[in-house]
């Protein structure tokens, strides 16, 4: 048997990693690298925030914890929460996190309520999570 015959039984390449798949899907969807890169970065931060756990192992409470963290730590919390929300919606809507799920997350400001039911000041963003369909694991 020739050595060329032995080389034809090469091992198949591993499937693309989650963030690579997200990048590819976002690039196809948006047609530009900037939104794809932004989505990948927010999902990467979400994964790192939860100790490198896969998003399929994280539930709606974990999404809420991450968004609450952003509300308290970001320089521009409303913009950060909105961008992270879009990225996580895209991740779960594409089915890359283990199933097709729609996650809608609204960012409410105390000014919308007139009072602060959660005890924050008038500029404290609050993360209200609404699971519109599907079930997160």
Q: Where are the domains positioned within the chain? A: 16-133
The maximal CA–CA distance of the chain, rounded, in angstroms, is 81
End-to-end CA distance of the chain: 51
Q: Which CATH architecture has domain 16-133?
A: Orthogonal Bundle (1.10)
pTM over 0.85: no
Q: Which residue has the higher pLDDT, 80 or 103?
A: 80
Q: Is pLDDT above 80 for 127?
A: no
Task: Note the residue count of the chain.
Answer: 137
pLDDT value at 48 more than 70: yes
Over the stretch 68-82, which tens digit does the pLDDT of each residue have? 999 999 999 999 999
* Dihedrals phi, psi of 126, to nearest 5 degrees: -120, 140
- Report the distance separating Cα 46 and Cα 119, nearest Å: 26
The confidence score (pLDDT) of residue 47 equals 97
Helix axes 60-73, 33-49, angle to 10 degrees: 100
């Amino acid at each position: 048997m020739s050595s060329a015959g032995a080389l034809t039984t090469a091992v198949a390449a591993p499937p693309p990693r989650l963030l690579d798949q997200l990048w590819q899907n976002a690039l196809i969807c948006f047609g530009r690298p900037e939104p794809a890169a932004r989505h990948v970065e927010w999902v990467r931060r979400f994964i790192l925030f939860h100790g490198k756990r896969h998003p399929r192992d994280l539930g709606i409470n974990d999404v809420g914890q991450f968004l609450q963290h952003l509300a308290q730590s970001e320089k521009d919390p409303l913009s950060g929460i909105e961008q992270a929300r879009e990225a996580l919606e895209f991740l779960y809507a594409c089915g890359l996190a283990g199933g097709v799920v729609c996650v809608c997350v609204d960012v409410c400001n105390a000014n919308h309520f007139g009072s602060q039911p959660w005890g924050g000041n008038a500029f404290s963003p609050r993360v209200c999570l609404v699971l519109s369909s599907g079930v997160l694991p």
